[in-house]
Structure 1
Amino acid sequence: MTPQGRKMFETLMKTQTMSRDAIVAYQHGLLEKLCRHARLRVPFYRDSGCLDSLFDGDRFDMSGWDKVPVLTREAAYANRRELTATEVPRFMAPLTPGQTSGSTGTPLPFLRTSLSSYASEALTARGLAWRGLGVGKPTAISKAVTGDVGAREAGEPLQTQNGSVHFVNFFHKPLEQCAELDRIRPRLVISYPSIVHSWILADGGACLESVEAILLTGETCREETAQAIRAAFKGHVINLYSASEAGPMAIQGPRGDLKVCEENLWMEEPSAALSAESRLRPHPVIITPYYAHATPLIRYAPGDYAIWGNPDKATPGLRSLERITGRVRNMFKRPDGTLFWPNLSSVKLRKIAHFTHRQLIQESFERFVLRVVFDAPPDDGQVRQFQAHIAEVTGARDVVIEAVSGINDNRTNGKSYEDFICLI
């Protein structure tokens, strides 16, 4: 752990036991600093006046928070240049470029501050500390989890003070990934639930022999997937709800609930005026990361839905989520029963024809349907190029490109949005 991450970790171990009122006062102070900065140095907020409801003259007033427009992922992408700060406080340097995975739309580029990185490091360490664990090294991370623009080649280690972090390419066959894990012998793994499940199906979990804890992130972990992982792996399995552009948003506590990362971001809870029944339904996740001064995302809706839970007396300062109902990715199946992740390149597809959303469905071992919301109707040549790419990454003999006006999103009904769907 970096010295800065260690210092923040020590602070987090204290703030989690603070009262909710004390935490809220602390959060409002961080929000005020971010909003003052954004209003002065970020063209999108400076020129639009959308933060004016928070200020009475020079006085910051949280009573106007709900009047600030919600920033959707699509709006953030459309205004990506204007959302970049003209300057940031020196203590937040250096900045590193990143981008979202683009699984549910065009990838969103952003700049990450050093404080955001230290917060991610410290919050991960706290999630491990809740289980009596330190930050294990070496660590193996599925490559796309990092969200980095300049991602390292798979297997290339990132040298750290206490060991190495290795990136494992999840586009390789599961057995090849297992062989890489056998070589690395990590103590900590950070990956998608479906990827870890594919390792277990490939070698029965033997590649996880050296692992003390697995952090599952990037997608909702279905109950059957969690059961399969726990049956083969006897170490600690921890759900980490995060986003590339925001960092950790909630981490699973020892009792199973997802504890909101209150020290990293402001997450808006459903109104207390709602009925108990309404509060048990999925609600849109709306967040404001405190340390994202380089690319401020104020009242940002990443497109996820959550069901809120009850607080834990052991950590009174941290609210709880029962579960996240969005962000599911499915693995596809081969005739021999093995699972695979399609190396579907949105970048390559957008060079052929522009689109906003896509959804790939496996109807049989040989037939795949790609549903696409095109910006303009594609010509026959573009359709054939789309078909060729899908066939290349899936091995399909029958590829259908279906142009649609929209893709149904049933997350408000407690169901999951899936950009990959296997019907076998």
Structure 2
Amino acid sequence: MRAVPISVVPGIEWPALLSPQGAARLSLMYQLDQSQWWPPEIIKQQQFIQIHQLLTHAFHTTRFYRHRLQDAGFNPKTRVTPEVFSVIPLLQREDIQLHLADMNSTAVPKDHGRVGYTESSGSTGKPVRIHSTSLSQFFWHAMTLRDHLWHDRDFTRNHAEIRVGVGDRTGKNWGYAVKVAFESGPSLMLDIKEPMDRQIQWIQEHRPAYLLTYPSNLREMAGRCLEQGIDFPGLIEMRAFGETVTEETREICRQAWGVGVKDMYSAMEIGYMALQCPGHEHYHVMSEGVFLEVLDDQGLPCRPGEIGRVVVTDLHNFATPLIRYEILDYAEVGEPCPCGRGLPVLKRILGRQRNMLRLPDGTCQWPAFSPRKWPHADRIQQVQIVQKALDHLVVRLVVHFPLAPEDEQAITRIIHDRSGHPLRVGFEYVDTIEKPKNFKFDIFVSEL
């Protein structure tokens, strides 16, 4: 698909002469198209030029960061080095909640635009609310457009979203990220609170080419469609956000509808951190917008194949600077991508600490218990596995018909095999498993 920009000059259709907003958007897109192919060392060099600007601003205009940066050895008159940057203490959610007033800049640059508020979804149980600027939104929209262009989406088709708080409505276009530069088809919105049967019916009625929703919603929808033999003619791609996308999620979508899943890694308080590579299932860090670190237990950078904590710095929010912010996610560092992009690779995004299985021997792992492969999986409407103690899991089930004791024993053996430990496994049958207010749903949750 070749996206032709909108011209605003009468009588000129092509090449397009854009509005000031559209010209600014495509000007940035041109830069992003160039920088993605730079060598990693050049990308990092440019990042630290911008980091110096950010740290200098935070040093001079916030009480919180002035002391923190001084203690780390930062000098605004000297270019910041990776060594100095790595000494800056990690920023925790509690820091933001306790010290927000001191973190807010007293002199946001006028050209960064209007200052507003951004709030995290609260999926960690510790929501944060920060200031952000119009410039931050500008970069958010640019990365949205990059995602569309990377995956060659046809703007003339309709795009559907099933998510929290959107109601049931139809928009004229794909939203501000696209409309300032390109014409597009309509956008369709449905609230995720609608029952699954209603969601499926709505998709059948509108026949979207692209659908964006949570991975847990995709899994449930795909399972229901497989059970009932429902297809979605015209569907080109499923898009996911807000939760971890597992290989099982990708596989069940291929089975149900014959389409792939394109994922993104973002946070409300940061924006886009990584996008799925156009040619692979791993992710490229959005290095033009964030400096993302994956650190081991000693605070050192992880190497390819290692899993660590995600720490991120927003390069462009000068209203409430977020510098070395531990976002409470874990990720696995990947090898350089065969596609040729110099943007760093995340092989997997593993989720929060609450999604980690802790074992009696002191080790931890990211469980993949694959409920779709359990005995009589077609009877299971909902499942959630909860860790109650180091050696005790409870499998909560919503089922059409109760499972037999031998089925429970088979599931227990699968859990033992996957975890490598003879954990005590109990079963609890319930009428429904309630989802949190933000409708982000975890198949595995640790209460430890």
Alpha-carbon distance between aligned partners in 2 of 1:111 and 1:215, rounded to the nearest angstrom? 28
Pick the aligned partner of 1:281 from 306, 321, 326.
306
1:39 aligns with 2:59: yes
Alpha-carbon distance between aligned partners in 1 of 2:347 and 2:394, rounded to the nearest angstrom? 29
Alignment of 1:225-264 (within 5 A): 225-253=249-277, 254-264=279-289
Aligned residues: 351
1:123 aligns with 2:143: yes
Alpha-carbon distance between aligned partners in 2 of 1:211 and 1:97, rounded to the nearest angstrom? 35
1:297 aligns with 2:322: yes
1:155 aligns with 2:173: no
The one-letter code matched in structure 2 to 1:5 is: R
Alpha-carbon distance between aligned partners in 2 of 1:335 and 1:315, rounded to the nearest angstrom? 42
In the alignment, what sits opposite 1:311? 336
In the alignment, what sits opposite 2:90? 70
Choose 191-200 or 303-312, whichever is displaced more: 191-200
1:365–1:206: structure 2 CA closer, same or farther, 3 Å change rule?
closer
Query: Aligned with 2:281: secondary structure?
Result: coil
1:60 aligns with 2:60: no
Q: Is the contact between residue 193 and residue 226 of structure 1 (CA under 8 Å) also seen in structure 2? A: no
1:54–1:175: structure 2 CA closer, same or farther, 3 Å change rule?
farther
Pick the aligned partner of 1:179 from 201, 208, 231.
201
Query: Aligned with 1:56: secondary structure?
Result: coil
1:89–1:212: structure 2 CA closer, same or farther, 3 Å change rule?
farther
Q: Is the contact between residue 305 and residue 333 of structure 2 (CA under 8 Å) also seen in structure 1? A: yes
Point out 4+ residue stretches in structure 1 off by more than 6 angstroms.
Answer: 273-278, 332-336
Question: TM-score, structure 1 length as denominator?
Answer: 0.70
1:199–1:61: structure 2 CA closer, same or farther, 3 Å change rule?
same
Q: Is the contact between residue 38 and residue 341 of structure 2 (CA under 8 Å) also seen in structure 1? A: yes
Question: TM-score, structure 2 length as denominator?
Answer: 0.67
In the alignment, what sits opposite 2:132? 112
Pick the aligned partner of 2:381 from 316, 335, 338.
338
The one-letter code matched in structure 2 to 1:153 is: G
Query: Aligned with 1:66: secondary structure?
Result: helix
Alpha-carbon distance between aligned partners in 2 of 1:275 and 1:291, rounded to the nearest angstrom? 25
Pick the aligned partner of 2:396 from 356, 363, 376.
363
Query: Aligned with 1:81: secondary structure?
Result: helix
Q: Is the contact between residue 216 and residue 237 of structure 1 (CA under 8 Å) also seen in structure 2? A: yes
Choose 126-135 or 282-291, whichever is displaced more: 126-135
Query: Aligned with 2:328: secondary structure?
Result: coil
1:81–1:129: structure 2 CA closer, same or farther, 3 Å change rule?
same
Post-superposition offset of 1:153? 3.4
Gaps of 5+ in 2: 6-20, 356-368, 385-392, 400-429, 435-440
1:132 aligns with 2:191: no
Question: Share of identical aligned residues, percent?
Answer: 24
Post-superposition offset of 1:80? 3.0
1:80–1:215: structure 2 CA closer, same or farther, 3 Å change rule?
farther
Alpha-carbon distance between aligned partners in 2 of 1:92 and 1:277, rounded to the nearest angstrom? 34
Point out the structure with max Rg over C-alpha. 2
The one of the two structures with greater contact order (alpha-carbon pairs below 8 A, sep at least 6) is: 1
Q: Is the contact between residue 275 and residue 283 of structure 2 (CA under 8 Å) also seen in structure 1? A: yes
Query: Aligned with 1:120: secondary structure?
Result: helix
1:326 aligns with 2:372: no
1:200 aligns with 2:222: yes
In the alignment, what sits opposite 1:14? 34
Post-superposition offset of 1:225? 1.7
Q: After superposition, what is the alpha-carbon deviation per residue over 1:227-259, rounded to whole angstroms, capped at 9, x for unaligned?
A: 001222334421211111111111111122211
Q: Is the contact between residue 18 and residue 316 of structure 1 (CA under 8 Å) also seen in structure 2? A: yes
Over the aligned positions, Cα root-mean-square deviation in angstroms equals 3.9
1:117–1:190: structure 2 CA closer, same or farther, 3 Å change rule?
farther
Query: Aligned with 2:102: secondary structure?
Result: coil
Q: Is the contact between residue 285 and residue 303 of structure 1 (CA under 8 Å) also seen in structure 2? A: yes
Alpha-carbon distance between aligned partners in 1 of 2:170 and 2:395, rounded to the nearest angstrom? 32
Q: Is the contact between residue 125 and residue 134 of structure 1 (CA under 8 Å) also seen in structure 2? A: no
Alpha-carbon distance between aligned partners in 2 of 1:224 and 1:213, rounded to the nearest angstrom? 16
Post-superposition offset of 1:287? 0.7
Q: After superposition, what is the alpha-carbon deviation per residue over 1:49-96, rounded to whole angstroms, capped at 9, x for unaligned?
A: 435535336223223111111012232223233333334223322344
1:184–1:43: structure 2 CA closer, same or farther, 3 Å change rule?
farther
